[in-house]
């Protein structure tokens, strides 16, 4: 389905399709954009079919199917970036980033600093997370590790439009970016997305709902449950402001502080473990800057501190009911 608007042609896409569109537009715009990853070339087109058709269109020299070696994928991407390319490296599951941590943390994230700004590393690392049915080694949310590492930007979209715009911004950024796709969102959410090249700025959160009683800060897969809880809480005469971070680093503290100054209560919700998760830093920043303004302590809601179980029934993730209960505890203790 194709639509038009004042900003150009729009097409209804799912998140997976929006990622494909971003890659295709970037490769059309700049011949230095190259894709690398396991099984990403046709006929397979990647385990989630994100790159299907791209090697046929752009050639196998620009869509390179690699050996099963995350170290080699990341290392090759870094080398390409040093000679003028903008590689997009796919690491199939977020868990497998651990195998490539040396290349990404000790090399890509440090090159600009160690070269006095002479050697940027314009690489984008795409990876997928989510889905407890894949078990403890294929579903971990490890974004806090990378937020903790200076030199790399961390991005996680919650919908198709942001997925295309944010990925495009990552590809054309001169520093390394980690772009996290949630498999639970890949084929479940549809939105109107610009067909042509367009970008969403990194480091700018999106206020999805305005409210006066409590601010809910979230991102990625938890945006949906938070929006659903917003409706339930509105029925209880509680007004929630919902912020979708979109970029975890750089973190848009200005938008968070502006909202919290108004509502004076906060709940941070994420799928990562609550202990030492991204919410810990967000909570600390709010307490340090706005402690005298708060009507209640900042609350955090994340996954239980346990390996991801195979059974979804045991996942321990935040749910609609848990979000509603947490907000009620803050507003009506």
Would you please indicate which residues are annotated as catalytic (active-site) residues? 138
Whole-angstrom distance, CA of residue 119 vs CA of residue 108: 10
Strand segments, DSSP code E, in the chain are 2-5, 8-14, 33-37, 63-65, 86-91, 124-129, 153-155, 177-182, 190-194, 206-209, 214-218, 240-244, 247-249, 266-273, 299-303
Q: At what angle do helices 278-290 and 253-263 cross, to 10 degrees?
A: 60
The residue assigned the tokens 């990876």 is 127
Cβ(217)–Cβ(243) under 8 Å? yes
* Three-state SS at 240: strand
Contact status, residue 9 vs residue 196, Cβ threshold 8 Å: yes
Distance, CA of 51 to CA of 103 (rounded, Å): 24
In degrees and rounded to multiples of 5, residue 278 shows phi and psi of -55, -30
CA–CA separation, 329 vs 333, rounded Å?
A: 5
Beta bridge partners of 243: 207, 217
Instruction: Name the one residue in this structure whose structure tokens are 């750089």.
Output: 250
Question: How far is 22 from 199, CA to CA, in rounded Å?
Answer: 9
Give, rounded to a whole angstrom, the gap between the first and last alpha carbons of the chain: 48
3-class SS at 93? coil
**CA torsion, ordered 312, 318, 320, 325, to nearest 10 deg:** 130
């Amino acid at each position: 389905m194709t639509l038009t608007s004042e900003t150009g042609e729009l097409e209804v896409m799912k998140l997976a399709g929006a990622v494909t569109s971003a890659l295709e537009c970037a490769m059309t715009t700049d011949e230095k954009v190259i894709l690398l990853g396991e099984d990403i070339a046709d006929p397979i087109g990647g385990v989630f079919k994100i790159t299907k058709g791209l090697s046929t269109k752009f050639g196998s020299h620009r869509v390179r199917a690699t050996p099963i070696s995350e170290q080699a994928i990341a290392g090759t991407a870094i080398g390409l970036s040093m000679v003028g390319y903008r590689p997009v490296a796919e690491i199939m599951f977020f868990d497998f980033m651990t195998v490539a941590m040396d290349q990404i943390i000790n090399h890509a994230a440090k090159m600009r600093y160690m070269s006095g700004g002479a050697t940027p590393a314009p690489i984008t690392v795409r990876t997928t997370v989510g889905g407890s049915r894949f078990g403890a080694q294929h579903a971990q949310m490890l974004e806090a590790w990378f937020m903790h590492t200076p030199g790399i930007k961390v991005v996680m979209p919650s919908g198709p439009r942001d997925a295309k715009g944010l990925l495009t911004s990552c590809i054309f950024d001169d520093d390394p970016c980690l772009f996290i796709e949630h498999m639970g969102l890949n084929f479940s959410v549809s939105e109107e997305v610009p067909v042509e090249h367009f970008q969403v700025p990194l480091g700018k959160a999106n206020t999805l709902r305005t409210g006066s009683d409590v601010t809910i800060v979230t991102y990625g897969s938890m945006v949906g449950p938070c929006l659903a809880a917003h409706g339930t809480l509105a029925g209880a005469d509680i007004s929630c402001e919902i912020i979708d971070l979109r970029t975890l680093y750089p973190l848009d503290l200005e938008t968070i502080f502006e909202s919290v100054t108004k509502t004076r209560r906060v709940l941070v919700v994420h799928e990562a473990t609550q202990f030492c998760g991204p919410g810990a830093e967000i909570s600390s920043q709010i307490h340090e800057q706005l402690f005298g303004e708060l009507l209640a302590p900042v609350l955090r809601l994340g996954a239980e501190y346990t390996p991801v179980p195979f059974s979804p029934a045991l996942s321990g993730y935040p749910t609609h009911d848990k979000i509603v209960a947490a907000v009620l505890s803050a507003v009506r203790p």
